[in-house]
Amino acid sequence: MQPKHRVPIQFHRETPVQAEYFFEVPEGQFTDVRLDVYITGFVQNATRSKVQKAIKEGHVVVNGAFEKASYVVQPGDRIEISLPKPPPEEARPEEMNLHIIYEDDSLLVVNKPAGLVVHPAFGNWQGTLVNGLLHYTQSQLSKVEDETIRPGIVHRIDKDTSGLLVVAKTEEAHAALSKQFQEKTVERTYNAIVWGITEEHGTVTGDIARSRSDRKIMTVVAEGEGKHAVTHYNRREVFDHLSLLDIHLETGRTHQIRVHMAHIGHPLFGDRVYGGDKVCYGPNAGKRKQLFRNLFETLPRQALHARTLGFVHPGSGQMMRFDSELPYDLQQVLDKLRRTFPSMTEDER
């Protein structure tokens, strides 16, 4: 394909740029895909309407020329994108029921339920944990420079992961806690149910980055091509073709546990993004098929809970350690597995 005459990109400089991308469409990978559809599937947090608006306003160039959203992507096309970023909304207080398990003048520890987003972002400006915390603390949360939507947030867990988070009330506490996370001195233990029978103990090491084929998910990449990540696990129980694990994080990357366990062939039970929402091991017929169908309905998310959190208090210097029980949905699945598949000994396995 001969490149068309290049037209300079006319960006609206008064609009902050969210992200710039440049890529070439691989040979033989796409057939009859519209430009807006292709970009939406490639760029994280991009909606089709947002992409169409960017194309119309001249933020997308194909082979050096502007194309319409309906343009059919061709192998070898060189696409340049600069998506405009709307001004961030300041997080606003909202009344909600929160499970606060510890609080003092410097920080609080909250037990987040599954389904609750930690902080506002594109597509979730309201109804997040931060909105509830702002109401609960009367906006007495730490603030990071140039950050209006994540006050108090030192670390995060996924929307559909339940468990413990420490939240800073003061800038001093925020800095001290962040340093502990950076230096890997914070104790973090998760409980997870994964497919397959794992080793009794194991460590998964692998750089994590966004997938090149689907920017909405993460994947393990070659060393140096992503962020260094280390996950340790200990097997606690085995049920048929499933394992209950204690998982200890050495680093804290996006989707780290989910990505690492899927990478070694043990995706989390119920994980729709990384392949755990189907029967991965053992037969899938008869009563067993119905059993797992019922379990997926009971737990329509990944079987992952942030159970233990330990850190040094930034004010007193005292070691603080908190534990939380498994949430109802995860406990229901675990109880059913225990009744149906009593834990096996090593000889039985």
Catalytic residues: 158
**Rounded Cα–Cα distance for residues 292 and 304 (Å):** 17
**Rounded Cα–Cα distance for residues 97 and 118 (Å):** 14
Residue 126: partners with Cβ closer than 8 Å, 6 or more residues away? 92, 94, 120
CA separation, residue 206 to residues 43, 145, 195, 250 (Å): 23, 32, 20, 12
**Rounded Cα–Cα distance for residues 213 and 347 (Å):** 43
Long-range contacts of 83-87 (CB under 8 A, 24+ apart): 83/17, 83/18, 83/19, 83/43, 83/46, 83/50, 83/51, 83/54, 83/59, 84/12, 84/15, 84/16, 84/17, 84/18, 84/54, 84/57, 84/59, 85/15, 85/16, 85/17, 85/18, 85/19, 87/16
Q: Which two tokens stand for residue 138?
A: 């009367």
The pair phi, psi for residue 166, each rounded to 5°, is -100, 135
Residue 147: partners with Cβ closer than 8 Å, 6 or more residues away? none
The pair phi, psi for residue 164, each rounded to 5°, is -90, 140
Q: How many helices (H) and strands (E) does the chain have?
A: 7, 14
